Structure 1
Amino acid sequence: MGAGDGSSRRRTDALLTGLREGGWRPRAWAAFAARATAWSAREAARRPQAAAEATALHAAFLCAARDGRGRARAAASWLLAITHLGMLEGRTRLSVADTLTLLRANLPALSDGAWTGPAALATDFLDGRLARRTGTASPFGAYADALADASFWIPYALRHEPDPRWRGALIGAWVLPLAGATAAAFARGRMVDVPRIRGLHPATAVEAAIVARRLRPGFVPGRPGTSRARSCPRSWNPPFPPHSRHCTSTAP
């Protein structure tokens, strides 16, 4: 079967249909998990090179992870990748675009620095364009891209953006469409696509704004809309001691 033949979607629809017909009861969920696991194992066995590439890539992430949470993220990313290789469809290897997408998903495992925001924007800009230019676009890439964006940007906003309005805008832009599509897929017993937006995606605009705010000179996590604040929020974990001069200066 060629790339883009839709075989992975048909299998996923069959799994969801069985779950729906089983009334989402425990037995139906058990059958769903067993069939999905068996299919994932068969598809990974059919693509040993892609499986080896995904494993080697995530082994590098695991070795470079900055802490236990980073290693857990890398392990979870590997598990999701290795169990969805069937979504490569006609391809037997990961593409450069796929690698960039998986890198974005694992940036928080490697560093919490401000540079990760621009790096995520850059990989998001490049991966889709590379996939289209090289003819390597696939359901795997689309699936990984959405998960990579959500899994990177939501923690990034929670960590680096003090203004709840910006955090809420970004989380809503990613969580609501994904949650809605997932709920609809289980309810209907078939895959439901997240609507594609032509031009600049609202989430991308919010991401770029948050990165720009994070990188602007004099930015210090604190009161929304200011570069400096009189006190640090209790829920915030800034990269400096809680009683440093950053927490005691007055906003201009």
Structure 2
Amino acid sequence: MPVSDLTDSRAATDALLGTLRQEGWRPRAVSRFLWQAADRSARQAARRPRALAQVTALHCLLLARAGQQRPGRGWVTASWALGVLHLGLLEHRDRLAPADVLTLIRANLPATAVGSSRWSGLLAIALDQADGRLARSQGTVSPFGDYADSFADAAFWTWLTLRHEPSRRVRVAAIAAWAAPVATVTALAIGRGRMPERPRPALLRPAAAMQGVVALRHFLRR
């Protein structure tokens, strides 16, 4: 079955990575991998017009909040592109859930004036807790929300730490806490030719403690 026709996002990703590994990561194989991944993403987005419209409308509102600042507009544009390219992770759903919307808002806090306020870290933690509880209570947990949550954490907290944290030790510890899991999962996926099982949050998130440290330091410093 062609990769573009696979309905399970994990199966499609494993098929793409497996083929790439078999072909030895040659330039032609990498080009074909990127083309097939983009083709599947476009097809999955086209099958979910409601979700596509939701992602676009939300990011238009976020662009308005970003104003004319180029970094903020670029951040929101990149977030929109990532959201559209991963709509296949919604699996059986054809629209975003409220929890997904909260996650995307959290990911784009750096593009707004709120991102630099003393409350931004505490707000990000509150949004993180809210979207998780909302997804579980409404039964809308999905790979899209799971991965969007991870991206939102990595994007926001890395940005906040690099931009506002004066302590070099805290910056190094924080970046390692968010970068190490991403690097490990990526390396395993490339080496094995398939996506590894993700560790449970309680086991992979020393970053959760770092969030509290960074957020509190940011709040008290300002």
The TM-score with structure 2 as length reference comes to 0.91
Q: Give the distance between the partners of 2:26 and 2:37, measured in 1 at CA.
A: 16
3-state SS of 1:194 partner: coil
Contact kept, 8 Å, 1:70 with 1:110, in 2: the verdict is yes
User: Are the structure 2 counterparts of residues 117 and 31 from structure 1 closer, same or farther at C-alpha, using a change threshold of 3 Å?
Assistant: same
CA distance in 1, matches of 2:91, 2:38: 17
C-alpha distance in 2 between matches for 1:76 and 1:45 = 19
Structure 2 counterparts to residues 151-162 of structure 1, below 5 A: 151-162=155-166
**Separation of aligned partners in 1, 2:172 and 2:60:** 34
1:200 CA displacement? 9.8
Cα 1:135–1:83 change in 2 (3 A) is: same
Q: 1:16 to 1:199 in 2, by over 3 A?
A: closer
Which amino acid is the alignment partner of residue 186 of structure 1? I
Contact 1:61 1:106 in 2 (8 A): yes
- Is this contact kept in 2: 1:178–1:194, CA < 8 A? no
**Greater Cα shift, 118-127 or 46-55:** 118-127
Letter in 2 for 1:140: F
Give the number of the structure whose residues are more often helix, by fraction.
Answer: 2
Aligned counterpart, 1:79: 81
- 2:192 paired with 1:180: no
Deviation at 1:193, TM superposition (A): 3.2
Work out the CA distance in 2 between the residues paired with 1:24 and 1:70: 35
Report the TM-score, using the length of structure 1 for normalisation.
0.81
**Does residue 83 of structure 2 align to residue 60 of structure 1?**
no
Are the equivalent residues in 1 in contact too, given 2:54–2:95 (CA < 8 A)? Answer: yes
In 2: Cα distance, 1:176 partner to 1:132 partner? 27
- Map residues 217-236 of structure 1 onto 2, 5 A cutoff: 219=221
The C-alpha deviation readout for 1:58-112, integer Å capped at 9, x for no partner, is 1111121141011111011000100110100000000111011101110000122
Query: Any runs of at least 4 consecutive aligned residues in structure 1 with deviations exceeding 3 A, and if so which?
Result: none
Q: Deviations over 1:122-177 (max 9, x none)?
A: 11111111111111000011111111100000110111211111111111111001
Which amino acid in structure 2 is aligned with residue 40 of structure 1? S
Instruction: Summarize deviations over 1:32-72 as a string: whole Å, max 9, x none.
Output: 11111111111111100000000000111112114101111
Q: Distance in 2 between matches of 1:200 and 1:34?
A: 32
Give the residue type in structure 1 aligned to 2:161: A
1:207 is aligned to 2:208: no
Shift of 1:194: 3.4
Instruction: Name stretches of at least 5 consecutive residues in structure 2 with no aligned partner.
Output: 1-6
Return 195-204 or 98-107, whichever deviates more: 195-204
Cα distance in 1, alignment partners of residues 25 and 203 from structure 2: 38
- Aligned-residue offset at 1:21: 1.2
Relative to structure 2, which stretch is displaced further, 6-15 or 198-207?
198-207
Tell me, yes or no, if structure 1 residue 189 matches structure 2 residue 210: no
CA contact (8 A) 2:51 2:95 kept: yes
Is 1:37 the counterpart of 2:41? The answer is no
C-alpha separation in 2, matches of 1:63 and 1:187: 42
Select which of 165, 170, 188 maps to 2:169.
Answer: 165
What percent of counterpart residues are identical?
52
Which amino acid counterpart does residue 104 of structure 1 have in structure 2? R
Partner of 1:90: 92
Where 1:198 maps in the other structure, the secondary structure is helix
Secondary structure at the counterpart of residue 183 of structure 1: helix
CA distance in 2, matches of 1:183, 1:35: 21
Trace 1:114-129 onto structure 2 (pairs within 5 A).
114-129=118-133
SS at match of 1:205: helix
